[in-house]
């Protein structure tokens, strides 16, 4: 029981530290770093060949995704974003065709698709947010477990985390339900598991 409390305390400490660092960034700094991350992501073979990509809409100073989403739509990729189902405590993927027209403010104040348009195609790549990541591909989210459930369901999908360099640490506390990512992209490097 003590080990579990210590692990939860460590996760809370890391969440607090990373949130402070992220919130301390200026909009210009977040935009600049996000642009560099985007350039690194779109060079990946896994991303280039993906026909259907699930993104996330940003919360606060997370790595920006709007330009990525709009570029993917122009390229003809199938673009999906999450809808949070609070009752089931899970994320459902819904197709969008236009960022401005198809999104509304949803759960936790995050933009979500207005309608549940399901995707007949397999999701090739899922782009995942996080508070912190480690070099083994583990991520620390906000503590709700929504993305962990999603990642387990998307077993054969390439899982890519987007992070600022300062969000990468050597080792995160992990639990049995945590699902590691395949790739983490920062402004200066690509980490593969």
Give the chain's domains with CATH numbers.
2-192 (3.40.50.10420)
- Tally of CB atoms within 10 A around 23: 10
183 DSSP assignment: E
In this prediction the pTM is 0.92
Residue 123 has pLDDT above 60, yes or no: yes
Residue 37 confidence (pLDDT): 98
Tell me the pLDDT tens digit for each residue of 25-44. Answer: 999 999 999 999 999 999 99
Tell me the pLDDT tens digit for each residue of 162-187. Answer: 999 999 999 998 777 778 999 999 99
Closest Cα to residue 158, out of 118, 122, 113, 120?
122
Reading the block at residue 44, the tokens are: 């990946």
Residue 1 has pLDDT above 50, yes or no: no
């Amino acid at each position: 029981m003590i080990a579990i409390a210590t692990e939860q305390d460590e996760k809370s400490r890391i969440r607090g530290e990373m949130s402070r660092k992220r919130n301390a960034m200026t909009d210009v700094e977040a935009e600049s770093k996000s642009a560099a991350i985007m350039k690194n992501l779109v060079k990946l073979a896994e991303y280039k060949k993906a026909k259907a990509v699930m993104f996330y809409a940003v919360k606060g100073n997370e790595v920006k995704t709007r330009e990525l989403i709009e570029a993917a739509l122009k390229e003809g990729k199938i673009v999906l974003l999450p809808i949070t189902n609070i009752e089931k405590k899970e994320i459902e993927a819904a197709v969008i065709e236009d960022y401005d027209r198809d999104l509304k403010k949803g759960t936790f104040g995050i933009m979500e698709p207005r309608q549940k348009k399901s995707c007949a195609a397999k999701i090739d790549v899922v782009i995942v947010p996080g508070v912190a990541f480690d070099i083994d591909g583990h991520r620390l989210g906000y503590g709700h477990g929504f993305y962990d459930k999603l990642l387990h369901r998307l077993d054969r999908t390439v899982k890519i985390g987007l992070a600022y360099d300062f969000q990468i640490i050597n080792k995160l506390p992990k639990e049995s339900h945590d699902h590691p990512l395949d790739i983490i992209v920062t402004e200066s490097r690509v980490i593969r598991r």
